Amino acid sequence: MAKEFFIKTDVTFGADSVQELSRVLHAFNAKNVLVVYDKGVAAVGIADKVLAAIDEKAFRVVCYDGVVPNPTNEVVEEGYAIAKANQVDAIVAVGGGSSIDTAKAINVLLANGGGIMDYEGIGNVPKPVLPLIAIPTTAGTSSEITNVAALVDTASVRKYVLIDNKIVPDKVIADPEFTRTVPPFVTAATGLDAITHAVESYVSIEANFLTKYNSLRALQIFHEYLPRAYRDGNDMEARENMMLGCIVVGFGFSNANLGLVHAIAHTLSAHFGLAHGDANACVLPYVVAFNAEKCSKEMIELAKAINLPMTGDEEKDKFALADELLRMTRKMGIKPLREQGRNTKITESDFDMLAEEALKEGPLHFNPRQDVTKEVIIDILKKAF
C-alpha cells in the first residue's frame, strides 16, 4: 500500500544561525514582521538576540510576548489582533512548542479569518498562510517542522489540534546555543516528550519504512544525549544532538501520527495545566507496557536499537523498553501524577472524568492497540499516580 511522507521545511542548523534571519526575511519580501515569544524567552535574553538579528532599517517589527504554556484560543486571538492591526506579512516564532503553535494559529487567522476553532481537525485550512520562520529554544516538541498546532479551548476545557500541511513553518533556524539556558527539569520534560514522539510514531498503525527509520534513529539520539543534557546544560554536543533529534523525529511523527500517551496527556494538560512534556512523561512507561502486548516485535526492535539487554524470551523482552523509560523518568525527576497540577492537584477521584475525556482524543485512532477502554486508561492513571 502506498504511503505519503511529507517534508516541507528548509532548515538552517548550527551556532549563530540566527544571523541568517534578515536574509531569510528579505527572501520572503517581508516588510512588517511579527515576532512571537513568551516572557521566559524574553527573561533569558533570547528574544533580544533574535530582535538584534533583524535589520531595523529594512523591516518594521512588532512583538507579541503573551504566549503561555498550553496556549489558549484567547492567546491566539490576542496575537492575531496585534498582527492584523500592524498589517503583518511574515511571522517569526521564538521559543518552544507553545510559541510556535501560537504563531501557526495566528498565521491561519491572518490568511483565513474567522475563529481558530473553525480549522480544528485535519486538512481544514483552506488558504495558504504567510511566511513563518521558527526559531526553537527547546529540544522536544518538533513543532518547528510539523504540520500540527495544539491549542486549548477554555470553554469546553479540552486540548485540540489543527493538522494541515499549510501550517508547517517555511524556515527553521535551529541554533543549539538557544537551548543552553533551559533548566534541567524543562530539559527532562521536553526530552521525554521527544522520546514519546519517537516511540509512539514507531508503533503507530500509520507507520511505514520511512517514518520508522526517522523514529528509531531519533530514539537512539535521545537515549544517548538526553541524560547528558539533563546533567550538564552547557554540554553543547548533547544540546546540539537533542535539537537535531527533534528535527529527525518530527519527520517521523508528523507523517505517522501518535497514540494513547498523547490522548491522555492532552486531557491532563487541558484540565490541570500540566506542561505537555510532563504529561507525556508521567504515563509513557505504562502506555508502552500496555501496547507491548500488541506490538512486541516493534518494542523489541526499539529496545535493541538503544542496546538494552535482551534475554531472548519475547514475553520478557517486549517490556524492556517500558522498564527503561520508567527508569529514565524517575532518574530525571519527573513527578508522579499525585504531585502534578498547575492550579489544582490531581486526585484519584478525577480519573473517571480524565479517562472519559481521553477516549474522545484523535490520537487514539493511530494507537497500535485499539481495545482502549475507560478501565484501561484509569489503570494507567493509577500506575502513574
* Core vs surface per residue 31-43: b (16+ CB within 10 A) or e: eebbbbbbebbbe
DSSP-derived 3-state class of residue 173: strand
- At residue 8 the predicted structure's pLDDT band, cuts being 50, 70 and 90, is confident
CATH for 184-384? 1.20.1090.10
Entry pTM: 0.93
- At residue 344 the predicted structure's pLDDT band, cuts being 50, 70 and 90, is confident
* Three cell numbers, residue 238: 548533547
pLDDT, position 151: 96
Residues of CATH 3.40.50.1970 domain(s) within the chain?
A: 10-179
Closest CA to 279 of 140, 99, 146, 164: 140
Percent of the chain with pLDDT over 90: 95
Please, what is the end-to-end C-alpha distance for the chain in angstroms?
41
Residues of CATH 1.20.1090.10 domain(s) within the chain?
A: 184-384
Q: Is 214 exposed, middle or buried (0-12, 13-18, 19+ CB in 10 A)?
A: buried
What is the rounded CA–CA span in Å between residue 186 and residue 182?
Answer: 6
- Choosing among 3.40.50.1970, 3.30.1360.10, 3.20.20.140, 3.40.50.10490, the CATH entry for 10-179 is 3.40.50.1970
What pLDDT digit, counting tens, does each position of 29-44 carry?
A: 999 999 999 999 999 9
- Which residues, including other chains, have CB under 8 Å from residue 367's CB and lie 6 or more apart? 200, 204, 205, 259, 260, 263, 291
